[in-house]
Structure 1
């Protein structure tokens, strides 16, 4: 049989389930809620601790200065308490920038006009910036915050010098040196603490994003696995039952029409329908057993398929297979490919002779199915002939399928399965 036209089947892309985006959004929302709740608890714990410290330290030493400082500090804490309930993690960038600016700006009065140190809230605001801003904005925020924070320290130094001269004169004998030492000390503390907080927070952010990405990928894999399973079930139904049930329907319809006019032909149609029903049930049982069996004999299953295959006397099938012991998945897919090919030949090709050859090669396994039928034009639409299901099965095995046909010259289907699949090293 001479073949001229050659064409590889096109790869069909599996559709991605649209629910993946919804799953990712749900996962992100849960992670955001957990982060917001954690930061809220941390901030309110700091607020309560600072209020208790203020009450304890000023209980027996109330004066105008202390009262003024306490009022300013309490107003600052109230501002932070209000802001703590709003965490714009999934808001536009301008809202996140504004939020971080307010978080830091509300602390500056306490730093400039009181003796209460609220630096822990400053570092908490920098921590929040790591979750809300990109790295460029984080660095700008850290530098600008440091300048403003140290500027507030410098603004407060003259009052501290006057107070220290009155209460610790021996320490403040040289005010210029004390000012420089204080600024250097505060700058070093801020740089060290800011570096530590930012590195730790960015590490947490990176780990959190990696974990969230892993969860999203796991959900996507689960969704795609479901889609693949649905495709597999649809393919099994089409390959094993589709043709038989179609013919069964035709036979039953024929029996209905001939029931009164020609009882003998009606009986023949019913007998054919009964045979098709039995064959369909056998196909189902064979598919289930093929998925459960451990020692599936592909060569024996091929012989049984040929013996039970319904055909007229003019159609001859020449089976020449010598497959080695293959993994169950590989054997089942090859069996289904041969069954689909035989069904297609019987329905469409008008062939009188079919040859099925299968053997092991140095590179894997080779399966060739050829017939002497009418063939078809490879450039025309041929997906309805069932070749798509065969191609999908070959894709599962990482193999290649080649179809050769032209009108009047028959058809030849060649399937190659690589050695790694033959030895059971499937992906």
Structure 2
């Protein structure tokens, strides 16, 4: 994650800025020993540079403990580097985990309160606020400890909750990015599937027939030129039909005012004209979106092509109507039928099933040997 990779640099700059500001404040009123102060600065500077985010767990744990110890000890000798305490509590959330951060925060509370108390006693002595050697009376001691503990608890709670929200936000962003990549992959897959369907619907069957005719012409060219030429002529017609099918498919895909009833009627007339089938149809469908209309058209077309290729039927009936439950499509032929248990779902049937599922509908196939086949599709509005 980019955020985690940028953490070391962020913490490093914050710590170095704080060291610079702290040293500037010290120059305005030099109360602490300069060598001691520079020693703590040097240690914290090095620790800021060494951010062990990819180190073993024990090294990360030792790093946090060392940073907290240095900060507490600095306060014990009178150098206030309290902000580093919360830097390292924050670091522990990223380097360790939430549970260990809470444990470390709890165990650090008492040493920090004691160090703050002794630092306050030393400050009181140096400013001559009290004359007693014992420093601060018992009431003041209790007040100092309670107030220090309250501030420490509130600040630690804020740091932990802030880091928790930060991590949650980053995980959400990462999840969004992953989902976005999945959507792009799915979109590409759906587009490939759609193109495959279009190629199959427009060219698949015609190209198969074209290949057969060319193979016949190739075999007969030295034995029967007349039949070979007839096969070539048929192949030429099929090639023209391929071009026409592609043009019609592209026109339908681009058409913004696609009339489903008109397109289905034209399809039935084309099937009746190009085959020996007796075709009867009834079409009364409502106006739908272009996408849904085109999918329904392709479902019906694939069903009619299957009847022409496999049913060996003399009659086919198609009915498309609107019911109270949605759209119902029926394609029924009087062909040879087949055994449903031995059904091999070719790309044609598979394409129909995929399109029906895409529209949230159901496809039911009823058939038996020598009893014809009925395909019923139910689609919600």
TM-score after normalising by structure 1: 0.80
Tell me how many residue pairs correspond in the alignment. 379
Shift of 1:389: 0.7
Match of 2:10 in 1: 38
Shift of 1:285: 1.7
Match of 2:49 in 1: 82
Question: SS of 1:379's equivalent?
Answer: helix
Match of 2:233 in 1: 271
Question: SS of 2:340's equivalent?
Answer: coil
In the alignment, is the contact (CA less than 8 A) between 2:279 and 2:316 conserved in 1? Answer: yes
CA spacing shift, 1:310–1:363, aligned 2, 3 Å: closer
1: CA distance between counterparts of 2:59 and 2:316? 72
Among residues 370, 376, 380, which one is paired with 1:408 in the alignment?
370
CA spacing shift, 1:166–1:253, aligned 2, 3 Å: closer
CA spacing shift, 1:46–1:148, aligned 2, 3 Å: same
RMSD: 2.7
Match of 1:117 in 2: 80
1: CA distance between counterparts of 2:50 and 2:314? 84
Question: Which segment drifts farther, 144-153 or 305-314?
Answer: 305-314
Match of 1:153 in 2: 116
Question: SS of 2:50's equivalent?
Answer: helix
Question: Which segment drifts farther, 394-403 or 294-303?
Answer: 294-303
CA spacing shift, 1:403–1:313, aligned 2, 3 Å: closer
Match of 1:260 in 2: 222
Shift of 1:274: 1.8
Match of 1:196 in 2: 158
Q: Does 1:288 align with 2:288?
A: no
Question: SS of 2:143's equivalent?
Answer: helix
Higher relative contact order, structure no. (Cα contacts within 8 Å, ≥ 6 residues apart): 1
Kindly report structure 1 stretches of 4+ aligned residues shifted beyond 6 Å.
none
Q: Does 1:165 align with 2:131?
A: no
Among residues 329, 336, 343, which one is paired with 1:367 in the alignment?
329
CA spacing shift, 1:171–1:261, aligned 2, 3 Å: farther
Query: What's the CA shift string for 1:164-207, capped at 9, x where partnerless?
Result: 43541447675433433322232122122222222223222222
1: CA distance between counterparts of 2:180 and 2:126? 67
In the alignment, is the contact (CA less than 8 A) between 1:371 and 1:412 conserved in 2? Answer: yes
2: CA distance between counterparts of 1:148 and 1:304? 88
Match of 1:15 in 2: none
CA spacing shift, 1:105–1:408, aligned 2, 3 Å: farther
Q: Does 1:307 align with 2:269?
A: yes
1: CA distance between counterparts of 2:319 and 2:57? 65
* Structure 1: stretches of 5+ with no match in the other structure: 1-27, 420-427
CA spacing shift, 1:397–1:313, aligned 2, 3 Å: closer
Shift of 1:75: 3.9
In the alignment, is the contact (CA less than 8 A) between 1:256 and 1:266 conserved in 2? Answer: yes
1: CA distance between counterparts of 2:189 and 2:100? 42
2: CA distance between counterparts of 1:142 and 1:333? 62
In the alignment, is the contact (CA less than 8 A) between 1:54 and 1:70 conserved in 2? Answer: no
Query: What's the CA shift string for 1:109-144, capped at 9, x where partnerless?
Result: 3223x3211111111122223334443223222212
In the alignment, is the contact (CA less than 8 A) between 1:73 and 1:110 conserved in 2? Answer: yes
Match of 2:40 in 1: 73
CA spacing shift, 1:249–1:171, aligned 2, 3 Å: farther
Among residues 49, 68, 91, which one is paired with 1:128 in the alignment?
91
Shift of 1:392: 0.3
In the alignment, is the contact (CA less than 8 A) between 1:47 and 1:81 conserved in 2? Answer: no
Q: Does 1:418 align with 2:376?
A: no
Match of 1:144 in 2: 107
Shift of 1:282: 2.0
Shift of 1:353: 1.4
2: CA distance between counterparts of 1:235 and 1:388? 10
2: CA distance between counterparts of 1:328 and 1:103? 66
TM-score after normalising by structure 2: 0.89
Q: Does 1:379 align with 2:341?
A: yes
CA spacing shift, 1:239–1:40, aligned 2, 3 Å: farther
2: CA distance between counterparts of 1:416 and 1:183? 76
